[in-house]
């Protein structure tokens, strides 16, 4: 291998190593729900645990994590006719997909007028 080609190969390998080592990991997000449509959410967290802790902190006592996600979206849908009525949630590759799942799940829980209350993407 001639000297110029060897230099090019070594330089390219070094550049790829730097890119690989400095490549960002996907951030984490979470969606929490509580009684009567109370919710909390988080995104852009370093770990799933940080995402869950942040969503629960925002939601408050009695809440639980219903979705965690990375490089995707989550949505929460509630029945707007009943303050403590049906609700549904879901994740999807984009906002629209997550919202569609959340509304469908709300309807499956006997929701009459389910609408998206919250969406979040990471």
Q: Which residue has the tokens 């979206």?
A: 73
Q: Cα dihedral sign for 110, 113, 117, 122? A: positive
For residue 41, the model assigns a pLDDT of 97
For residue 26, the model assigns a pLDDT of 73
Q: Does residue 64 register a pLDDT over 90?
A: yes
CB atoms closer than 10 angstroms to residue 50: 15
Model confidence, pTM: 0.77
For residue 114, the model assigns a pLDDT of 97
Decide: 90 and 67 in contact? Cβ < 8 Å. Answer: yes
For residue 17, the model assigns a pLDDT of 45
What tokens does 114 get?
Answer: 């389910």
User: Pick the residue with more confidence: 28 or 16?
Assistant: 28
For residue 37, the model assigns a pLDDT of 84
Q: Does residue 29 register a pLDDT over 80?
A: yes
Banded pLDDT at 3 (limits 50, 70, 90): low
């Amino acid at each position: 291998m001639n000297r110029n080609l060897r230099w090019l190969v070594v330089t390219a390998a070094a550049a790829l190593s730097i890119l690989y080592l400095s490549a960002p990991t996907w951030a984490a997000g979470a969606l929490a729900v509580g009684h009567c449509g109370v919710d909390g959410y988080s995104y852009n967290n370093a770990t799933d645990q940080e995402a869950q802790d942040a969503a629960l902190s925002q939601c408050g006592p009695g809440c639980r994590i219903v979705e965690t996600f990375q490089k995707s979206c989550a949505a929460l849908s509630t029945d707007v006719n009943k303050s403590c009525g049906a609700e549904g949630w879901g994740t999807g590759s984009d906002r629209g997909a997550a919202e569609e799942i959340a509304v469908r799940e709300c309807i499956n829980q006997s929701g009459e007028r389910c609408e998206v209350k919250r969406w979040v993407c990471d």
